[in-house]
Amino acid sequence: MSKKYALLVDLRKCVGCTSCQVSCKMENAAPMGRFRSRVDIADTGEYPKAKRYFFPKLCNNCEEPPCILPCPVKGATYKREDGVVMVNRDLCIGCGRCVAACPYGARFMHPHIPVKNDPSKYAKDVSEVKGKRAKDLRVVDKCDYCSRRLAEGIEEPACVRNCVGKARFFGDLNNPDSDVSKLMASVKTEKWHPDYGTQPKTTYIAPDKEVFDAADGPVNK
């Protein structure tokens, strides 16, 4: 059986340090103002019942990713057998349709990675790239669970590796002994906006569900 990767965040252990956000930028060279992984922080409540919510977000690598259907180039974005939703930088023409299609805002155009695939081949059907050359367009980027590390057999995304509160877990849902499987079997877990119907895989231990309303911004605005 293939692996099925998933990431779990135990909000009981999140210390709000945002190491995941910055470690991701370090690992994947995400640009200023754009995020593969981001922490939403929300201050709510009146004194003395103040609250501060930390909500670490990343691509849900959905079971039914809504970002793949609108892609006009076959294979430019795809879901691997292990569940990771990928972007093929050699094929992406930077039309941005997948970016718009993700309800979580998990995708963005990377300003420092020009498109390689010749967009003119698709211009007839894809108005977004009509009249544009590859060097004028930018490929889409998103969290892929640090696929470069996975390719090396390092089954630990940078955000998990550096997580200060040891609140992040990564592993194989098909392996009942993985940390994520064990936690999901023993502790009540939640998803962020399961109502979108995409079967999001990122899982949270969130005793205070208010966090989902208090810090409900998308990963990228």
Partner 1 sequence: MQVSRRVFLKYAGALAGVAALDNAGLLSLKRLSPAEAEAMQKAMGKYEVRYTADCMCPSECGLEMWVKDGKIAKIYGNKAVPMNDGTACAKGASGQQLVYSPYRLKYPMIRVGKRGEGKFKRVTWDEAIDHIGRKLADIKKKHGAESVILDCGDVTDRDQYWRLFFAFGTPNCVEHGSLCDVPRRHGPKLMVGGKRWEPDVMRPQLVRQPDGSLKKDHTYKTKLIVYNGWNPFVATRIFYEQRGTVGAKVENGCKVVVIDPAYSNTATAADIWLSPRAGTDGDLFAAMLRYILEHDNPDDPDRRYIDWNMKKYVMGWDEFMDAFKSWWQKKDPVNGLSYFSLDWAADRTGLSKKQIEDLAHMFGITKPAALVWGMQSPGHHYNGYCCSIIGVALNVITGNFDVPGGVIDTELVKSDKGGSATGKQFKSRKVKRIINGKEVEGEVEHLHKDSFGSKYPAAWDDVVADYPDVIMNGIELKYGPFRGHNYPMKAYILRTGNSLLTGSAPWKWEKAITAKDASGNYKLELFVFIDSLNLESALYADVILPEASYAERQSLSDIYPSHQVIYNRDAVIKPLHESKKPTDIMKLLAKKLNELGDSDIKASDFWEKYKTEEDFVNEMLAVAPGRVNVGTPLPYPRYPEGYKLIGTPDSLEKGEVTIDDKSKVVKGKPVTVEWLRNNNGVAIWPMSWYRYKKHNADEPNKAFPNTSTKLIEFKFDWTDGGKRYGGYKSYNEKIEKAGGEVPLGLKEIGFSKFPSTFFWFETKWNPYTNPEYKKYAKDYPFQLICGRVHHAMSGTQMIPWLGEIKAEGTWQPMNKEFEAEVPEAMPMGVEPMKTMKMKFKANTYSVGTIWMNTDDAKKLGIKNGDMVAVENPLGKSTKGKVFASGGIRPGVIKIGFATGGRFSPGMGPAYKTKDYTPSHNDLVDPDVLSPIMGFPGYADMIVRVKKA
Which listed residue (4, 23, 143, 200) binds partner 1 by CB under 8 A? 23
**Cis peptide bond prior to 207, omega within 30° of 0:** no
Q: Mask: binding to partner 1, 77-96, rule CB under 8 A, as x and -?
A: xxxxx----x-x-x------
- Positive or negative torsion for Cα 25, 13, 216, 179: positive
Residue 16 found at the interface with partner 1 (CB under 8 A): yes
Instruction: Give the interface segment with partner 1, choosing from 23-31, 118-126, 129-137, 176-184 (CB under 8 A).
Output: 23-31
> What is the Cα Rg of the chain in Å?
18
User: Which lies closer to partner 1 via its Cβ, residue 12 or residue 130?
Assistant: 12
Residue 209 found at the interface with partner 1 (CB under 8 A): no
Q: What are the structure tokens assigned to 163, written together? A: 């997580």
User: Which lies closer to partner 1 via its Cβ, residue 118 or residue 208?
Assistant: 208
Which listed residue (9, 58, 93, 99) binds partner 1 by CB under 8 A? 99
* Binding residues among 38-57 for partner 1 as defined by CB under 8 A: 39, 41, 43-52, 54
Instruction: For the CB of residue 124, give the shortest distance to partner 1 in the complex, in Å.
Output: 21
Cβ pair 63, 201 in contact under 8 A: yes
Residue 194 found at the interface with partner 1 (CB under 8 A): no
Which listed residue (7, 8, 9, 30) binds partner 1 by CB under 8 A? 30
Instruction: For the CB of residue 132, give the shortest distance to partner 1 in the complex, in Å.
Output: 20
Per-position b or e across 113-138, b if 16+ CB within 10 A of its CB: bebbbebeebeeebebbeebebeebb
Which listed residue (133, 166, 176, 213) binds partner 1 by CB under 8 A? 166
Residue 61 found at the interface with partner 1 (CB under 8 A): no
Give the pairing of strands 5-10 and 203-205: parallel
Q: Is 197 left (phi over 0), alpha (psi -120 to 50) or beta?
A: left
**Quick one: how far is CA 181 from the chain centroid?**
20
Q: Mask: binding to partner 1, 117-146, rule CB under 8 A, as x and -?
A: ------------------------------
Residue 22 found at the interface with partner 1 (CB under 8 A): yes
* Sequence-ordered alpha helix ranges (H) in 105-205: 147-151, 158-162, 179-186
E-assigned strand segments in 11-150: 37-44, 51-58, 77-79, 85-87, 108-114, 138-141
Which listed residue (3, 55, 66, 131) binds partner 1 by CB under 8 A? 66
Residue 221 found at the interface with partner 1 (CB under 8 A): yes
